[in-house]
Amino acid sequence: MNYELSNLIIIATLLPFGGALLNGIFGKLISNRLSGIIASLTIGVSFVLFVIFYLYVVKNSKVPYVIEISNWLFLGKFQADISLLADRLSIIMSLMVTGVSALIHVYSIGYMEKEKGIKRYFSYLNLFVGFMLVLVMAENIVLMFVGWEGVGLCSYLLIGFWFSEEEKANAARKAFIVNRIGDLAFILGILLILSYFNTASFRLINDGAYKLPTTIAFFITILLFIGATGKSAQIPLYVWLPDAMVGPTPVSALIHAATMVTAGVYMITRLGNLFLMSEMTLAIIMLVGSFTALFSATIAITQNDIKKVLAYSTISQLGFMFSAAGAYAFSAAMFHLVTHAFFKAALFLLAGSVIHALSGEQDINRMGGLEKYLPHTSLMFWLASLTIAGIPPFSAFFSKDEILYKVFINENSVVPLAPKISYTMLIITSFLTALYISRLYFKVFTGDYKGSLKPHESPKVMLVPIYILTVLFAIFGPIGMGSGIGHILEIPARIFGKDLHLVNTFERLVGPSIASFGTISLDVSLEIFMIFISVIVAFAGWLLGRYLYCHQPSPVVEVINQKFYRVQNIIYRKYFVDEVYDFLIVKPYYYISRSLFELIDRVIIEFIIIGFIVKVTYITGYLLRFFQNGYLYKIICVGLIGLGILVYFMMGK
């Protein structure tokens, strides 16, 4: 590869850091608008550079490129350097990250217009993209950890952007600490990897993974997976994500929906060969993923805060990706990651548009009938809702079906039942997904408007980015078309005597950079059958939501509310998980710390040990003082005793 093109990647990765510095240091000198434009431009240019690199290099080559920037950590027999790995996986991910980021940056110019500290905001946002690119492009696992913690830090800074409110500062800290629990596991996993492989490089780790004993592979991968549950908000470490919604909405769209939270899935895909070494871990990933999907989808149905619904939806969708990863369908996981980035970013930005229109209102019970006031927002929200519900021909239909199918046909020799259990949970989740999103859509946009302020449609600077995302999530699907759908589409083509050769372009694209586990025989008829099931489920969920919530909540809702009040309340209160954690971990930690400190420092060391030494010294001194009070006879007496002792010892010798 020629020199200039590798420079492109370095520039593209470092540009966001430059933007962050520019806004951070010289922010005072420029206007708010200019600050936003600079921030958006840096990301935009970075995106264009990745596109150029993709078109000229990656598209035509299956070989990964390693681009060295600088040496960094010296770890004895090997080094962990600041180097980038440009292969199809990382470049596609970077394209998604910079593309979506650029749109959200532009959107932010409108959304954050009236906020104080907008330069700080753009500085953090740029910094985030920089660290995200480090995470994605990292050539070795230690550098990935830099990006991993770096995005967590930016997430902390941005959740707490309005830091003068205690609640937001608390949410920010909670996000950081919960992530740190995951990071701790991650770093232990890294220590294990480094000491077993004697390298930090992803390629060498993946190449040497087959030599690893199963037990070690299990420990390594489970630690990495715990790390992933922190960053990607899976059970048991998901609790920070709903709270993180107190941050600015574009931040929720970018960090807590499209990019950062998918880092766990990306990391597992990156280390695919390693994860393939432990079927136990894969089963755990699959089950945790699908259970998280189901669990959070139930919560999403009951929430009334528009952003909370989307937050639980994100957790649920991430669960889909993990289930796919657990079924070593890494391509399917990555494809859903990309489509999800488009439609979930769009949903969050649309929610932001609604919140913006209502001057900060987030309770869906005080919305309703907004389609009259916000025609653009409403239309796009409708499309995005259909997409996430899995209704064809939008992208999530393709990506979700691919996951469901791959999970269903997966075989796990350690936990044979896992794929089927997982599939069952996922199909129920599909239904619930369609239900909660149609509930959200119909409650917000149909019926009567219940607020008092007159809503206003958002400015173009906010709408255009969403339009672009809408186009993307609407038409992106066929790129990752599974063979079943391809087969269905072949039928009409055959009638006209044409052969379409529909293939999964996405899988072909990323295929060379990710792990695969031999070839799985595809049963096309089974796949077609399953597509029907999931389409029926999606429509059923959507129509049920429409029946219950379109225009007026149906009387059935009232009945359900009354009959199942207790169950509903438990779900609404998120199964009391936060309270349980608080009771079992947070409070005890403080009280244990407090009592340990009092006991060890105050009582044992200071009072007993030091006190004892002081007493002994004092008493000795007191006794000795008896001989030193200036009376001649006592001094002579002591002298004689001393002489006696001396003589005794000398005689003894």
Partner 1 sequence: MELHILSYLVFSPLLGLLILFFIPRDEKELIKNIAFISSIIPLGLSLLLLFMFDKTNSGFQFETLVKWISTLNINYHVGVDGISLFLILLTTLSVPIVILSSFKYITESEKFYYMMVLFLEIAMLGTFLALDLVLFFLFWEAMLIPMYFIIAIWGGDNKRYATFKFVIYTSIGSVLMLIGIFYVGNLAGSFSINDVYGTVFSIKEQLLLFGAFFLAFAIKVPIFPFHTWLPDAHVEAPTGGSVILAAILLKMGAYGVIRFVIPLFPNAVVLLAPLIFVLAVVGIIYAAMASYVQKDLKRLVAYSSVSHMGLIILGLFALSSVSISGAVYQMISHGLSTGSLFLIVGILYERRHTRLITEYGGIASAMPMFSVFFMIASLTSIAVPFTSGFVGEFMVLFGAYSSDFLKNVYEYSQIFVYVAASGMLFGAIYMLWAYQKVALGPNINLENQRLFDLSLREFIVLLPYSILMIVLGIHTEFVVSRIMPSVDRIIGIFYAGLR
* Residues of this chain that bind partner 1 (CB under 8 A): 70-76, 82, 142, 145-146, 149-150, 153, 156, 160, 163-166, 169-170, 172-173, 176-177, 180-181, 183-184, 187-188, 191, 194-195, 589-590, 592-594, 596-597, 600-601, 604-606, 609-610
Residues 6+ apart with CB under 8 A from 570: 576
Nearest to 62 by CA among 508, 515, 520: 508
In DSSP terms, 86 is beta-bridged to 65
Residue 178 or 311 having the CB closest to partner 1 = 178
Residue 22 or 338 having the CB closest to partner 1 = 22
Q: How far is the CB of 467 from partner 1 (least distance, A)?
A: 37
**SS3 assignment, position 65:** strand
The amino acid present at 156, given as its one-letter code, is: Y
Buried b (16+ CB within 10 A) or exposed e, 434-464: bbbbbbbbbbbbbbebebeeebebbeebbbe
Residues 6+ apart with CB under 8 A from 468: 103
Residue 382 or 581 having the CB closest to partner 1 = 581
Residues 6+ apart with CB under 8 A from 276: 209, 282, 328, 515, 517
Q: How far apart are CA 445 and CA 571, in angstroms?
A: 24
Q: Which residue is it, tokens 């009092």?
A: 598
Nearest to 72 by CA among 175, 1, 124, 146: 146
Residue 494 or 594 having the CB closest to partner 1 = 594
Q: How far apart are CA 519 and CA 533, in angstroms?
A: 25
Q: How far is the CB of 480 from partner 1 (least distance, A)?
A: 33
Q: How far is the CB of 604 from partner 1 (least distance, A)?
A: 8
Residue 174 or 443 having the CB closest to partner 1 = 174
Q: Which residue is it, tokens 């206003």?
A: 456
Q: How far is the CB of 538 from partner 1 (least distance, A)?
A: 41
Residue 471 or 613 having the CB closest to partner 1 = 613
Q: How far is the CB of 198 from partner 1 (least distance, A)?
A: 9
The amino acid present at 519, given as its one-letter code, is: T
Residue 200 or 332 having the CB closest to partner 1 = 200
Q: How far apart are CA 460 and CA 466, in angstroms?
A: 10
Q: How far is the CB of 130 from partner 1 (least distance, A)?
A: 11
Determine the Cα angle at 325 with ends 128 and 186, to 5°.
Answer: 50
Residue 526 or 608 having the CB closest to partner 1 = 608
Q: How far is the CB of 81 from partner 1 (least distance, A)?
A: 10
Q: Which residue is it, tokens 């409403």?
A: 378
Radius of gyration of the chain (CA): 30
**SS3 assignment, position 85:** strand
Residue 172 or 271 having the CB closest to partner 1 = 172
In angstroms, how far is CA 25 from the centroid of its own chain? 29
Q: Are 329 and 402 in contact (CB under 8 A)?
A: yes
Residue 167 or 411 having the CB closest to partner 1 = 167
Q: How far is the CB of 43 from partner 1 (least distance, A)?
A: 20
Structure tokens at 354: 């609604």
Q: How far is the CB of 601 from partner 1 (least distance, A)?
A: 6
Q: In 57-140, which residue ranges form alpha helices assigned H by DSSP?
A: 88-111, 118-137
- The full DSSP string for 371-426 is HHH-HHHHHHHHHHHHHHHT-TTSHHHHHHHHHHHHHHH---SSSTTHHHHHHHHH
Residue 82 or 391 having the CB closest to partner 1 = 82
Residue 1 or 187 having the CB closest to partner 1 = 187
Residue 191 or 493 having the CB closest to partner 1 = 191
Burial of 644 (0-12, 13-18, 19+ CB in 10 A): exposed
Q: How far is the CB of 65 from partner 1 (least distance, A)?
A: 23
Q: How far is the CB of 575 from partner 1 (least distance, A)?
A: 25
Q: How far apart are CA 628 and CA 198, in angstroms?
A: 69
Element (H, E) at 328: none
Structure tokens at 615: 């007493």
Q: CA neighbours within 13 Å on the CB side: how many for 556?
A: 8
Q: Are 436 and 313 in contact (CB under 8 A)?
A: yes
Residue 70 or 562 having the CB closest to partner 1 = 70
Q: How far is the CB of 584 from partner 1 (least distance, A)?
A: 16
Q: How far is the CB of 154 from partner 1 (least distance, A)?
A: 11
Nearest to 182 by CA among 238, 141, 132, 105: 238
Q: How far is the CB of 33 from partner 1 (least distance, A)?
A: 21
